[in-house]
Structure 1
Amino acid sequence: MTTQERTDLVTMLDRSRGFLRFTVQNLTDEQAASRPVPSTELSLGGLIKHVSATERSWIAFATGTPGAHDNEEGWEDGFRMVPGETLDGLLADYAKVAAHTDELIATIDLDETHPLPEAPWFEPGATWTNRYVLFHLISEISQHAGHADILREAIDGQKTMG
């Protein structure tokens, strides 16, 4: 658990988050809420909202909060902007979640393990270290940044890279 390892984790998380935030810059709320691909739920604002909730949930898991992944109510609304939500508001919430994660990385025991919740996509009885949770978050955010890039290009031709 070196200081360099913690710095690297925060740097990689922030880099992944930065690609996602860059992809939604200069969009209107209407553009951020639009669904330019044949999905009934996927929008750029919804991706920001989903990634924020996902990071919040995994960090709760890493701190041992029971039931961190149990909220299925409103699951579909977690992928789209609902009336009253704005892109600026979703980005502000995401910034708070990210700041909390970054603060936690400075003190959390990276080798501490937690049993994964029962789910078809997890091996029964499997555990993850907090370090692995952070690797998973980096992967998850990066994957969704790629999804966001496709959505943005479909909206107005803007590309994050290229």
Structure 2
Amino acid sequence: MATEAAIMTTNGETTLTGERADLLAGLRKSRHFLRFTLRDLTDGQASRRTTVSELCLGGLIKHVTEVERRWAGFIVEGPSAMETDDPEEWAEQFRMGEGETVAGLLEAYDEVVRRTEEIVGTLPDLDATWPLPERPWFEPGARWSARTVLLQIIAETSQHAGHADIIREALDGAKSMG
């Protein structure tokens, strides 16, 4: 069964409704909490590791940006959008590089966010599927719909927002909630 875009237009403004609006609202909430962990931080603070892992707040933004970019690409291009890079390149996503800034990382994230939201608003069918790429962590022969991919993006963003909250609290005691 095809999922209609369910777009209402009033006064020249386009607004998503129904399932698409709900999916994007959930994703926006997770994005908010992730971004909120960077409030009032310097670039140096955002690049600091506060746990034994490689994670830092700036690196988490880089990673979530890349993951969302790939998954959004998968929705429209299929498995070719999920091509793996060099493992060292993948590991660099979790660190802020020389010259990278919080402002620049958030700007890149905003570009990916706009693209994802445009895809969700214009995709003809959330039930459209692509085969997942062959990876040890995917079930062989599995296919994911655009809806399933959006739920994956929400889950990844939420999980990393939790990581970011822990890192921020260890950095200076600030919390996203509570």
1:23 corresponds in structure 2 to 37
- Percent identity, aligned pairs only, is 55
1:97 corresponds in structure 2 to 112
Structure 2 gap segments, 5+ residues each:
7-16
- Offset from partner CA, 1:38-85 (integer Å, 9 cap, x none): 11x211000000000000000111102552222322111111100011
1:116 aligns with 2:139: no
Using structure 1 for the length normalisation, give the TM-score: 0.96
- Offset from partner CA, 1:76-106 (integer Å, 9 cap, x none): 1111100011011000110111011111111
Give the total of aligned pairs.
161
1:43 corresponds in structure 2 to 56
Shift of 1:35: 0.6
- Offset from partner CA, 1:112-143 (integer Å, 9 cap, x none): 00000111110000000000000111011000
1:72 corresponds in structure 2 to 85
**CA–CA separation in structure 1 for the residues paired with 2:148 and 2:114:** 19
Question: Which amino acid in the other structure matches residue 57 of structure 1?
Answer: R
Structure 1 gap segments, 5+ residues each:
none
| Higher-strand-fraction structure | 2
Moved over 2 A (4+): none
Using structure 2 for the length normalisation, give the TM-score: 0.87
The 3-state SS of whatever aligns with 2:77 is coil
| 8 A contact 2:79–2:133 mirrored in 1 | no
Q: Greater CA radius of gyration, 1 or 2?
A: 2
1:52 aligns with 2:52: no
Provide the alpha-carbon RMSD of the alignment: 1.0
